[in-house]
Structure formats: structure tokens, C-alpha cells
Amino acid sequence: MKLLLIQPSVGKIHGEKYVKSWTMEPLALSTLAGMTPDDIDIELIDERIDELPEIYEADLVGITIETYTAKRAYTIAKKIRKQGVKVVMGGIHASLMPDEVTKHCDAMLVGGAEGGIWNQVLSDFKNNKLKRKYDANSYFEKTLDHCPPNRKLYANKGYLPLGLVESGRGCPFTCEFCAITAAHKAQYKSKEIQHIISILKIFRKMLYFADDNFVSKFSRTKELCDAMIPLKKNGLVMAQLIWLVNQTY
């Protein structure tokens, strides 16, 4: 069985050049690949870098969707499905707008893919029992330690030299304005500190924390930062630094 994973581009504006040199690793797709059984052949096509084929030689295609790539993702999926290939969609836009997304795919994954739900999708596909919707809330797992990304998919892609790391996902706060709260239902899951440190040790490049909220649990964040000091790594944090303080001044 061959699985094709696609990262859509934002879409190109006529007369403007897409800045490929700023392209970062698609961590969501490599994490999905890391949870895929070894007997399945996996290929990654990142439209920000690669050209999409005219003929899709795959048994199943997985497309990740952010809100800003949704329109392009639907266009890609339409062409693939016309060729008789099944399409599974997931990502934060699928979690936020499931009624919209389900119109453009054969199966949709709402929420994260860990906890066994991705293997269920693959099993159902093999047995010709693919469902229209898979809800990760029924497979909720508190830790991300069992979801190592398959970083081999990044080879020869020319991504920005940043090692993307996800130490935690979601946020426990219930801010009404926030898409993270809506997508993750105010739930937070994380990796063990020592597990994160073991991952960081393999990187020789700058680190990039792709957490939704790096300080979801302040005591844990402090413990992680203290554990990172001996590594002497440079890094960036792509996260909302939100911490609610209940204190009278």
C-alpha cells in the first residue's frame, strides 16, 4: 500500500514569487508518518517546494489543512478524487470547520491523530470500510511521547534549517476568542521533559518550538527550560505565551 501525504501551499498570487527559502518542516505530516505502520510506503509532497503530479499513483492520500490553505487543499483533493483515489483530510481547519471540510474528502479526521485513531483509519481503508468522520475525542491520549515524527521525509527538501519540536499541544485555558481552545476543547497534552531533551540532543541546528501555548503549565515550562540550559542550544518559540494570574494588586 502506498500513502501520499500532501502539504498544500497557500496559493500563488499572479505576478508574485513564492518565497521557498522560508519554508519550514511540515511537522504534522511527519508525525502522522511516524505513526504509520512500516509496511506502508510513504511519500511526502510539499507543494511549497515540490510540483504536484498530474497522475496520483497512490492508494490513499492524506492532506493537512490550515484555514489559509483550505481553498487550495479542496482544489487538490477534487483532482485526486476524480482519479478514483481516496482522500483523508485533517488539521486544525478540519477540527474547526468539519461541516465544510467533509464536503471535499472521503474521510475526515477531527482532532489529533494519536491514540490509535490513525491506525483505525488505515485499517478501515484496507477493509473498504472507510468512515466519513473520525473524532479524536473518543481516542484521547494524555501524552505525545508515543508520536515520534518521521523526519526522514524531510531529506533533500531544502527546508529552513530549524528543528521543529512540539513539546505540548493544546491549551487548558478557555479563552472564548481563541481558535486553539475551540479546536482542542481546552485540553492540553505534552511530552515528558526527558523525552524532549533526548530529541533536542540530536539537533545540530536552531530549534523551533511549535507549541500552541509554550507556558500552558508554567511550572513544567520552567522545568523544561532549566533542563535545556546545559544543551546550549539556540531556539525560537512559536507559541502564545499566555499565563492567567489570579492575584489582587
Q: Is the pLDDT of residue 66 over 90?
A: yes
Domain ranges of the chain: 2-139, 161-237
Residues 146-184: pLDDT tens digits? Answer: 678 899 999 989 888 888 888 988 888 888 888 888 888
**Closest by CA position to 174, among listed 162, 184, 165, 186:** 186
Fold category of 161-237 in CATH: Transcription Regulator spoIIAA (3.30.750)
Give helix 218-228 / helix 193-200 axis angle, nearest 10°.
Answer: 40
Contact call for residues 238 and 193 (beta carbons, < 8 A) = no
75 and 36 Cβ atoms separated by less than 8 Å: no
pLDDT in tens, 188-229: 888 899 989 988 888 767 888 888 888 888 889 899 999 999
Strand partners, 7: 46
Task: Please determine, for residue 246, whether its predicted confidence score (pLDDT) is greater than 60.
Answer: no
pLDDT digits (tens, 9 = 90+) for 135-148: 987 655 666 766 78
Rounded to 5°, the CA angle 219-220-222 comes to 65
Task: Give me the residue label for grid cell 484496507.
Answer: 126
pLDDT at 91 over 90: yes
If one compares 115 and 72, the residue with the highest pLDDT of the two is 72
Reported CATH class of domain 2-139: alpha beta
Cα–Cα distance between 200 and 197 in angstroms, integer? 5
CB 214 within 8 A of CB 239: yes
pTM: 0.86
Q: CA–CA separation, 185 vs 142, rounded Å?
A: 13
Closest Cα partner for 194 from 224, 170, 219? 224
